[in-house]
Amino acid sequence: MLSASTLIKNIATLTLALSLPLTAIAHERYILPSHTVLSGEEAQSVSFIASISNAIFHGDKPLGDNGKGVVPQKLAPLFKRLKAVVISPDGVSREMSWQAFSRFSVADTQLQQSGTYRIALVQGDVPMTTFIKADGKKGRFFGNKGKVPSGATNVVKRTTASRVETYVSFNDPNNTALLPTAKGLELSGETHPTDLFVDEALRFQLTYLGKPLHKATKVKVVQGATRHRNQRDEAIIATDAQGKFSLTLSQAGFYLLSANIDVKGKAGSGIDIHHHSLYATLEVFPQ
């Protein structure tokens, strides 16, 4: 079996062997759908699992809960901030119920309208302060009530936000699935997210606050089942100055696409850096 890294070809600006910052590789998140394409005259249902896990598509910790599940104490504050939504083909957004189990969260949604649905878990800005302690060890605290210890250096006031999503089409896909919501870092572009095939060029674009990302950044693409490979076989793609990037995949399966950006805080805001993360699950089909 060929490794995923050998299957990704350069279409626009592809850069391999680039390193991501630590914030980009820690605590990856995903939503994995049971189906991404369905058809029929009657309504269909799709099931999902979501997890915080560096073993792509193998659950480690749950992500999201409706108040009835098993919630680790450390994750409870995160779950309170998460907004679980489904954006229907007509653009209407509704809430979605997730229930946590020991290693992942689960959800169902029903598809009645024809078109493409966007399923997302969105974490809004969370204040965080990072610093280096006097003994050289890294430290941090969330919120605004913590105290920076005496003698600490490299103090940075931050916010951190994330978007975790996937896409499902029922009958005829529409072209509204990747219309930006104008909140945070999002995936857009020419290619429809459920119409992906091996050996075909996939063309996407990153947006920030609904507009093209006007800075070159890096996008990571990794095929699932990393637990069953000796190497993760990640590919790092450099976007252009408009946030656009392209790739071709030569093996069918589920892939996790992720990106991270740091945006400088406005003068007088009290925030040095706004950090945004994006995680999108895509399914690639054989020809």
Residue with the larger pLDDT of the pair 241 and 13: 241
Q: How far is CA 42 from the centre of its chain?
A: 31
How high is the mean pLDDT of the chain?
Answer: 88
Q: Is the pLDDT of residue 246 over 80?
A: yes
pLDDT at 27: 80
pLDDT tens digit sequence for 16-32:
222 233 333 358 999 99
Percentage of the residues of the chain whose pLDDT score is greater than 90: 77
pLDDT tens digit sequence for 185-221:
999 999 999 999 999 999 999 999 999 999 899 999 9
Question: What are the E-state strand segments in the chain?
Answer: 8-10, 29-33, 37-38, 44-52, 61-62, 82-87, 93-95, 99-100, 105-111, 115-132, 138-142, 153-170, 185-188, 201-208, 211-212, 218-223, 235-238, 244-249, 253-264, 273-284
With cut-offs at 50, 70 and 90, classify the pLDDT of residue 82.
Answer: very high
Residue with the larger pLDDT of the pair 7 and 162: 162
pLDDT tens digit sequence for 100-154:
999 999 999 999 999 999 999 999 999 999 999 999 999 999 888 889 999 999 9
With cut-offs at 50, 70 and 90, classify the pLDDT of residue 179.
Answer: confident
- Burial label for 116, CB within 10 Å (0-12, 13-18, 19+), is buried
Q: Is the pLDDT of residue 91 over 80?
A: yes
> pTM for the complete prediction?
0.87
pLDDT at 215: 87
pLDDT at 50: 98
pLDDT at 175: 65
For 37-46, 97-106, 225-234, 252-261, which range has the lowest pLDDT when averaged over its residues?
225-234
With cut-offs at 50, 70 and 90, classify the pLDDT of residue 229.
Answer: confident
pLDDT at 11: 31
Percentage of the residues of the chain whose pLDDT score is greater than 70: 90
Q: How far is CA 19 from the centre of its chain?
A: 18
CA distances from 90 to 30, 114, 175 (A): 25, 9, 11
pLDDT at 25: 37
